[in-house]
């Protein structure tokens, strides 16, 4: 069993009159983690329900205090899995927190862009939100040798829980194809009244081939035969569904720094490779550098999130082709990182270090990456 990093924080947040939310993409283990939390609560009675259950949804969307009181009577905890399926869940959770203060509420949702907006403002100070990503290297507790032995598998198949626990590459491919064809974009289609799943997959494929490069919404729109606004909207939804994340260009002082474009990455390498239907070994690929960059950056973001180390993230590029893959801004300092699959001696960009006196620079490769991501 893989112990998720936020387990103890979730347990500590469960208290009467307080709502705890756990968000993340489908199939990342939210339901399993909720059950694990339930099994480790030593005192108190727990009511665990599914938001997809129509009877449950009817009660928890009623805004009738008498009905909510009756539903939760005798319980110390209310656990709601897939809470985004329940209409007006935010208002009802506020009603429970206000009028039934003796109960602790724990909800999960694979669509935080709806659920968090609903329960966030009315419960300011009485709610806390957590995010669950595909399994992080930080959570695997592997030593350096085991990590290196499994590295190619991670780069190709990613780290969804069912992928991690699969025994063969055939099983891993089956899991990833199931996610791609089933749950990957389900929330986007159901919650934003979208119907064209083919368009979304075509957009994801175009993005998948541009990892590490500036992405132009105008060029994507032209290739897909739609407007720039449509592409921008869908990219935003893909980020809110935890499929993609983006970095924007960093600039403070230099006129020639590029800031308007964005770079997109997948939260999981396996999903990226499933989108382009390529699970070949590294020796047969021409995109190993992109896989390496995507893996390192996504793992770094997961690591910092789970260790509660807030950062602003950027890339840096100038019009004369100088660039840094990742810039982390934290505590007034800038840390630049370049990712290279092969160990190479690379000269740091003097212009960046000279312009930003509070900056540093490093190169991450196969011999030193583990400390960076775990």
CA distance 282 to 90: 46
Alpha carbons within 13 angstroms on the beta-carbon side of residue 327 total: 24
Question: Strands, DSSP E only, in the chain?
Answer: 19-23, 46-50, 77-81, 104-109, 127-131, 244-249, 262-266, 312-317, 323-330, 333-339, 359-364
Q: How many CB atoms lie within 10 A of CB 308?
A: 9
Tokens in use for 299? Answer: 């793992």
Kindly give the confidence (pLDDT) of every residue in the chain, 374 residues in length, as a single tens digit, with 9 standing for 90 and above: 789 999 999 999 999 999 999 998 889 999 999 999 999 998 999 999 999 999 999 999 999 999 999 999 999 999 999 988 888 888 888 889 889 989 999 999 876 555 666 666 667 778 888 999 999 999 998 888 999 999 999 999 999 999 999 999 999 999 999 999 887 877 677 656 666 788 889 999 999 999 999 999 999 999 999 999 999 989 998 998 889 999 999 887 666 666 678 999 999 999 999 999 999 999 999 999 999 999 999 999 999 999 999 999 999 988 887 899 999 999 999 999 999 998 777 888 888 898 888 999 999 999 999 999 98
DSSP annotation of 4 reads P
pLDDT of 111: 62
Distances (CA, A) of 284 to 149, 222, 279, 300: 18, 31, 10, 27
Domain ranges of the chain: 7-131, 137-373
> 275-280, long-range: CB within 8 Å, 24+ apart, which pairs?
275/180, 275/201, 275/204, 275/205, 275/208, 276/205, 276/208, 276/209, 279/156, 279/157, 279/169, 279/172, 279/173, 279/176, 280/156
Residues in Cβ contact with 4 at an 8 Å cutoff, skipping those fewer than 6 apart? 29, 33, 36, 132, 135, 139
Residue of 104, 75, 79, 107 whose CA lies nearest to 17: 104
Domain boundaries 7-131, CATH class: alpha beta
CA distance 47 to 267: 32
CA distance 29 to 5: 12
pLDDT of 327: 96
pTM of the full structure: 0.92
């Amino acid at each position: 069993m893989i112990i998720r990093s936020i387990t103890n924080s979730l347990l500590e947040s469960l208290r009467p009159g307080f709502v705890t939310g756990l968000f993340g993409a489908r199939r990342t283990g939210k339901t399993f983690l909720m059950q694990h939390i339930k099994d480790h609560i030593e005192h108190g009675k727990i009511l665990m329900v599914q938001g997809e259950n129509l009877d449950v949804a009817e009660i928890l969307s009623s805004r009738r205090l008498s009905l909510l009181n009756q539903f939760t009577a005798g319980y110390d905890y209310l656990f709601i899995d897939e809470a985004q399926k329940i209409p007006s869940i935010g208002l009802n959770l506020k009603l429970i927190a206000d009028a039934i203060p003796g109960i602790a509420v724990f909800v999960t949702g694979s669509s935080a862009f709806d659920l968090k907006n609903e329960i966030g403002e009315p419960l300011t100070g009485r709610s806390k939100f957590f995010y669950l990503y595909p399994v992080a290297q930080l959570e695997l507790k592997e030593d350096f040798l085991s990590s290196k032995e499994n590295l190619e598998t991670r780069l190709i198949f990613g780290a969804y829980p069912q992928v991690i626990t699969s025994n063969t590459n055939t099983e891993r491919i089956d899991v990833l194809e199931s996610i791609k064809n089933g749950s990957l974009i389900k929330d986007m289609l159901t919650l934003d009244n979208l119907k064209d799943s083919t368009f979304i997959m075509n957009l994801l494929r175009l993005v998948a081939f541009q990892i590490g490069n500036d992405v132009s919404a105008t060029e994507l729109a032209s290739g897909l035969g739609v407007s720039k606004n449509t592409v921008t909207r869908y990219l935003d939804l893909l980020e809110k569904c935890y499929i993609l994340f983006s970095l924007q260009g960093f600039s403070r002082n230099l006129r020639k720094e590029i800031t308007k474009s964005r770079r997109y990455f997948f939260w999981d390498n396996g999903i990226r490779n499933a989108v382009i239907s390529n699970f070949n070994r590294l020796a047969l690929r021409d995109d190993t550098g992109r896989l390496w960059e995507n893996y390192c950056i996504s793992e770094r973001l997961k690591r910092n999130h789970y260790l509660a180390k807030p950062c602003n993230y950027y890339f840096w590029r100038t019009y004369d082709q100088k660039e840094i893959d990742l810039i982390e801004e934290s505590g007034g300092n800038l840390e630049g990182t370049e990712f290279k699959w092969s160990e190479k001696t690379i000269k740091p960009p003097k212009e960046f270090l000279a312009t930003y006196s509070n900056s540093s620079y490093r190169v991450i490769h196969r011999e030193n990456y583990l400390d960076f991501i775990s």
